[in-house]
Amino acid sequence: MAKEKNQPKNNNEVSYEAKDIYVLEGLEPVRKRPGMYIGSTGVDGLHHLIWEVVDNSLDEAMAGFCTEIEVALLPQNRVSVKDNGRGIPVDIHKQTKKSALETVMCTLHAGGKFGGESYKVSGGLHGVGVSVVNALSSWMRAEVCRDGMLWAQEYKKGKPQFSVKKIGKCDARGTTVIFEPDPEVFKEIKYNWDAILTHLRQQAYLTKGVKINIRDLRETNVKLEEFCTTCQVKTKSKKINGVDDLKKPAGNGERSYSFYFEGGVVSYVKFLVDDREEPVKHQNIFYVNREVENIQVETAFQYTEDIQGYEISFANNIHTGEGGMHITGFRSALTRGLNDYARKNGYIKESEENLGGDDVREGLIAVVSVKLKEPQFEGQTKAKLGNPEARTAVDTAVAYALEEYLEKNPNDAREILGGCILASKARQAAKAARETVLRKGIMEGLALPGKLADCSSRNPENSELYIVEGDSAGGSAKQGRNREFQAILPLRGKILNVEKARLDRALTSKEIKALIIALGTAIADDFNIEKLRYHRVIIMTDADVDGAHIRTLLLTLFFRYFKEIIEKGHLYIAQPPLYRVSRGKEAHYAYNEADKDSIINDFKKAKKEKIKIKIKSYGKEIKLDDEELPEEEEEKKHGFGIQRYKGLGEMNPQQLWETTMDPKNRVMKQVKIDDANAADKMFNILMGDEVFPRKRFIQTHAKNVKNLDI
């Protein structure tokens, strides 16, 4: 309601007039709220800058105008992305009255993807990609080679430093963008080489006929001029856009990769299967590449002997980590197609129930890629595809091709369905076992496991569960805890390795059943994160080999069957101290070797200062050097003691509380999943049935192990 003119004004009232309305112009909104455009200003957002620039080059490749792309990491946090596409237009834009290059680089929602026929499909969603990179860069340079001429423009924090210039001639075509992320936006600028390789390898698989070169020159003394020939007004080179035209940088430290795949997603499936090192169930990879209602669908899959499956999806080459309509369509067609074939050929009897979605995805390695004119993503980071027509297109294409594939490859069909039917029987057995576990809890009045020492709080946000190794440590933890909010669940021995066992067998384990009931979430199809009884679930094991093994088994269990607990940030690992270093009545706890050495050095300094040990030689003062003394002699000489904790049970309840359970003093690590595929692969290597991958992993990393406790 508008305030009357003669109404008295409250002196404490905050001004809200026309002058208080702020209009952010140009790229200012991006700098004001960068997270809205790139997801975050952390490591993911930093790499998102590279993806946005590379996406423009890939759009040229998908349109059929680009065959080679180069990404180079340069000194001083700079990144160069070069392609041999058509080159961004440089003529004057009718609407902005500026060069089209400047319009694209400095204006949100500007590009060739909003109409016309410049791009049939593209990865860009809002046309904000390269302009957002420009806004969040302290420095950027764009070079365009087209129509026989070389053009350039430079920017600082999104603002052009001069008009687009014609600075030379060139006999090629393409675009080069070099940028330097702004340290005012990104507090830590550190590129992950492996993440860049993984992302660009994916793009090469998804874009047939394009070669992607990646060079890491951060540790070399390469000069910017070797990449940015327009950094000076006068250029020495006439040909600047050919990917092989770059001078070899002076100095060493360069590493590089090149990716080029003719097989497309079939090659990608082969790579994923080989990378997991699991035996395959069938030899012929399913593949379909078909256009349905102007949507290009390309999908491939193969089954392995692994219990776990893996699906990865893309829309216009953008990785949709949260899936979407295209994955829904694929799953629907796969489940329906296998059931139809199984019933038609007598694999499933009339009295038996259909195969479920989980049954047909056990051991499945699949890549689903769609290309469509106007993709609808959820958020600028494009994690999930929302186009309903994508579901219909994928369902139609896969259903048609799957029927043909099964008929032409009966041996493959038999192997696939044999695995699916086995998974179905295991699921039904697991369901019965799961219901038994839950029914037992109901029959006992929802009684919690007898070994669980529960907390008095019934508020999950304030409650925490310590999963403790053994009765001895459990006893200390129960006595030392704060009963108001800390619950203790001791586990006896090592739990079942669920990486090698299906759920029905896992549910025969008393320890696993006790944990399921204690958590309150149930498991598998019945899992409900809202029923989690503790918002901090803490794994607390001994700091030795057995403790590490038990911790790994528990992490495997949580990753396979309680992944959402990890994703929601509820799983932690306690860090008990390794040493107790004492001198007289003074004692300190050390959580690693560095802590221990620091405490010992402090004791040494205090001792030396107290008794003033001095040795004079030739009129100079020399301090006593104990470096070569055995540890036992050092302890005697300086009067301190070192106790190495082999197990939690060695600490009395008060010590365990002070060091590992007191929120004021304790050290805990939160378990996170940064890359689900990498985590899945690692669990498969370390905990799976195949011995050779595990042996090779140990041989590869053995030299990096420090303080091996045998």
pLDDT attached to residue 351: 87
Residue 121 amino acid letter: V
- Exactly one of 546, 602, 634, 650 is catalytic; name it: 546
364-371 and 310-315 as β-strands: parallel, antiparallel, unpaired?
parallel
CA distances from 642 to 624, 632, 647, 705 (A): 21, 9, 15, 23
- Exactly one of 254, 305, 544, 626 is catalytic; name it: 544
For residue 505, pLDDT over 90 is answered with no
Residue 182 amino acid letter: D
SS3 category, 145: strand
Average pLDDT along the chain: 82
441 vs 522, residue with greater confidence: 522
Q: Phi/psi at 420 (nearest 5 deg)?
A: -65, -40
Residues sharing a CB contact under 8 Å with residue 126, sequence separation 6 or more, in sequence order:
108, 109, 380
Q: Phi/psi at 237 (nearest 5 deg)?
A: -110, 140
Residue 651, both tokens: 């600490």
C-alpha span between 559 and 550 (Å, rounded): 14
pLDDT attached to residue 679: 66
Cβ–Cβ under 8 Å, residues 164 and 87: no
Cβ–Cβ under 8 Å, residues 49 and 182: no
- Exactly one of 469, 499, 511, 680 is catalytic; name it: 469
- pLDDT band of 123, cuts 50, 70, 90: low
- pLDDT band of 399, cuts 50, 70, 90: very high
- pLDDT band of 443, cuts 50, 70, 90: very low
Q: Known catalytic residue: 546? A: yes
Residue 547 amino acid letter: G
Residue 346 amino acid letter: G
Residue 92 amino acid letter: I
Just give the CATH number of 28-259: 3.30.565.10
- pLDDT band of 176, cuts 50, 70, 90: very high
Beta strands per DSSP E along 626-665: 641-644
Short-list 21, 24, 118, CA closest to 62: 118
- pLDDT band of 549, cuts 50, 70, 90: confident
Fold of 265-428: Ribosomal Protein S5; domain 2 (3.30.230)
Give the mean pLDDT of 323-351: 95
C-alpha span between 209 and 105 (Å, rounded): 28
pLDDT attached to residue 688: 67
Give the mean pLDDT of 569-575: 94
For residue 692, pLDDT over 80 is answered with no
Q: For 272-316, how does the pLDDT look when each residue is reduced to its tens digit (9 = 90+)?
A: 998 877 789 998 999 999 999 999 999 999 999 988 899 999 998
- pLDDT band of 526, cuts 50, 70, 90: confident
Cβ–Cβ under 8 Å, residues 507 and 433: yes
pLDDT attached to residue 519: 94
For residue 20, pLDDT over 70 is answered with no
For residue 422, pLDDT over 60 is answered with yes
- pLDDT band of 383, cuts 50, 70, 90: confident
Cβ–Cβ under 8 Å, residues 481 and 488: yes
C-alpha span between 199 and 196 (Å, rounded): 5
Least confident of 39-48, 217-226, 422-431, 619-628: 619-628
Q: Known catalytic residue: 625? A: no
Cβ–Cβ under 8 Å, residues 670 and 571: yes
Residues sharing a CB contact under 8 Å with residue 84, sequence separation 6 or more, in sequence order:
66, 67, 68, 172, 173, 174, 241, 242, 243
Cβ–Cβ under 8 Å, residues 409 and 283: no
C-alpha span between 98 and 92 (Å, rounded): 5
For residue 633, pLDDT over 60 is answered with no
Cβ–Cβ under 8 Å, residues 167 and 235: yes
Bridge partners for 213 per DSSP: 70, 258
Short-list 162, 146, 154, CA closest to 60: 146
Cβ–Cβ under 8 Å, residues 90 and 164: yes
Cβ–Cβ under 8 Å, residues 642 and 649: no
- pLDDT band of 492, cuts 50, 70, 90: confident
* Range(s) within the chain of domains with CATH label 3.30.565.10: 28-259
pLDDT attached to residue 637: 56
* Range(s) within the chain of domains with CATH label 3.30.230.10: 265-428
Least confident of 177-181, 555-559, 601-605, 652-656: 601-605
Instruction: Note if the pTM is more than 0.75.
Output: no
671 vs 706, residue with greater confidence: 671
Give the mean pLDDT of 539-551: 86
For residue 240, pLDDT over 60 is answered with no
Give the mean pLDDT of 482-500: 90
Q: Known catalytic residue: 544? A: yes
For residue 200, pLDDT over 70 is answered with yes
- pLDDT band of 537, cuts 50, 70, 90: very high
- Exactly one of 143, 464, 542, 680 is catalytic; name it: 542
Least confident of 68-82, 124-138, 398-412, 503-517: 124-138
pLDDT attached to residue 6: 46
Task: Give the percent of the chain with pLDDT over 70.
Answer: 79
Q: Known catalytic residue: 68? A: no
What DSSP string runs through 346-389? TSS-TTSPPPPHHHHTTTEEEEEEEE-SS--BSTTTT-SB--HH
For residue 152, pLDDT over 80 is answered with yes
What DSSP string runs through 571-628? EEEE---SEEEEETTEEEEESSHHHHHHHHHHHHHHHHHHHT--EEETTEEE----TT
